[in-house]
Every structure is written in C-alpha cells, then in structure tokens.
Amino acid sequence: MEKYNTEIFGSSLAGSKYVAEKIKALIELNDSKGVSTVLGLATGSTPVIMYKELIRMHKEDGLSFQNVISFNLDEYSPMQPESEDSYWYFMHENLFNHIDIKAENINVPKGTLSDDDVSTYCNDYEAKIDAAGGLDIQILGIGRTGHIGFNEPGSPEESITRQVTLNQITLDDAAPSFGGVENVPTKAITMGVATVLKAKTIYLMAYGSGKSEIVSETLTSDITSQVPATFLQNHNNTIFVLDNEASSLLPT
C-alpha cells in the first residue's frame, strides 16, 4: 500500500472540494506565470459534486477558466452532441455552461464519426493534447469493470485514443439513464491508457460502497489489463480520493 497515494474523506463532498481546490490552485499558479492549464475531464456521477464546487469558485471566488484548455476522456458512439445522453451535453450542463471557459478550448471526443474517419480523428485528438502541452491534471472515476475512461478490461497499457466496444457491465450500468440496455450505444471513442498515464497529476475519485471492491482490487492486485485501473500503479503522481465507504475494503 505504501506506493499508493490515498486521501480518504468522511464524505464525497469533502473529497470533491479537495480536488477542486487542487485544480483552482494550479489554474491560479499557471495564470500568474501566464501559461494555460490543461485539464483532462471525466463524466459520470462521480465528478458532478466537484464540478459544482468549481462553478461555485468561479461565481463566488472569481476563479477564471479563460486560460483553461479541457479534453474529455470519452464519448459514446454513435452519439449526437446535442443529445441529452451525450457526454458533450453532460459536460455543458454540469460545468461548461456555468463557467467562463472559451468554447474553442473545449474538447470532447466526437461520437458522430464514420468508420473511415475514426483513426485520423483519434490520432489528431492525441496530437492536440500534446500540442496543448499535455494534460496537467486528469480527473478519473472508475467503473465496476476497473475501466478508466472507456478503457475496458483487455485494454493494453500502450493504448491511445481509439474506438472501443463497451463491456456488458458498463452497458448495464448505463441502461437506467438510457431507458433500457438496448438503447445504450455499444461503442465509444476514448482516450487510451497511455494517454491518461501521460498526465502529470491524476486524481481518481471513487465514492460509496459500490466502489469498494474495485478500489481494493485496483490498489492491491498485480498490474493487469483485465483491470485497466491497475496501470495507474505505473504512474508516479496518482492520488486516489476516496470516501470511507469506497476505502472500506483496503488493507489497514
């Protein structure tokens, strides 16, 4: 356990505020140096409270996102951006519409690509992250399969942005918000494991007892592509931000 950096909080709110403070501090430091901040962002229920805190910091504390460039981890495919099920829509509803980030600095993978365009688009997404200076902070949740982004079991460590087929557990978990598993897109465009591991700092948030098993497996099992989150063991600056429930199965 010593090699892992875990921060355990009494509530998801406290953990979310901790991560928001780290983001705020980096944006302010970079602003004072006149350089932009590159954020890798995640969807799902986990980061929502953290985004609420960033919005509060923008509205009440004057935190500006004018010099922030964002790259989202993933998007369903096929998926129209204006669909309420899209991650593009999710990010605008839960964060972008409420802060002063420039529209041209927002990057969410496209869910409308033809098969012919996928590979060029994905390579360009990688290149765009690199051209922005690389991800300063990557925010992650974790799925019950151990996926990070949509890097499902079997995703290799050297994988980069690409189209993937979603795992059945992931489809089942998404079913309620799509009104049935038959409505969930079976594919996605996702940053790869290697894309994520290039981030300078990674905050993986996991809250609630439903995450306790996969958190414990991620932190204690050998590195395996069957649990892609275990590749984070090869990253030297990942902080696991947990609440008491999510950390309950970790060895003490």
Question: Of 232, 250, 48, whose CA–CA distance to 148 is shortest?
Answer: 232
Number of chain positions touching ligand PGA (CB under 6 A): 7
CB of 213 to ligand PGA, least distance (A): 13
Provide, for the chain, the percentages of residues in helix, strand and coil under a 3-state DSSP scheme, each rounded to the nearest 5. 40, 20, 40
Distance CA 172, CA 174 (A): 5
Beta carbon nearer to ligand PGA, 105 or 159: 159
Q: Which residue matches tokens 């059945």?
A: 168
Q: What are phi and psi of 173, to 5 degrees?
A: -65, -30
Beta carbon nearer to ligand PGA, 44 or 153: 44
Residues 29-58 that bind ligand PGA (CB under 6 A): 44-46
CB of 247 to ligand PGA, least distance (A): 15
Q: What are phi and psi of 80, to 5 degrees?
A: -80, 140
CB of 215 to ligand PGA, least distance (A): 12
CB of 142 to ligand PGA, least distance (A): 5
Beta carbon nearer to ligand PGA, 142 or 199: 142
Q: Which residues contact 120 (CB under 8 A, 6 or more apart)?
A: none
Beta carbon nearer to ligand PGA, 63 or 108: 108
Beta carbon nearer to ligand PGA, 55 or 196: 196
Residues 91-150 that bind ligand PGA (CB under 6 A): 141-143, 147
CB of 147 to ligand PGA, least distance (A): 6
H-assigned helices in the chain: 12-33, 48-61, 87-94, 115-131, 168-178, 193-197, 212-220
CB of 165 to ligand PGA, least distance (A): 15
Beta carbon nearer to ligand PGA, 93 or 100: 93
Which residue type occupies 199? A
Site string for ligand PGA, 154-183 (x = CB under 6 A): ------------------------------
Residue with the CB atom nearest ligand PGA in the bound state: 44
Our CA angle for 89, 229, 37, nearest 5°, is 55
Question: Torsion angle, CA of 93/98/99/104, rounded to 10 degrees?
Answer: 50
Residues that bind ligand PGA (CB under 6 A): 44-46, 141-143, 147
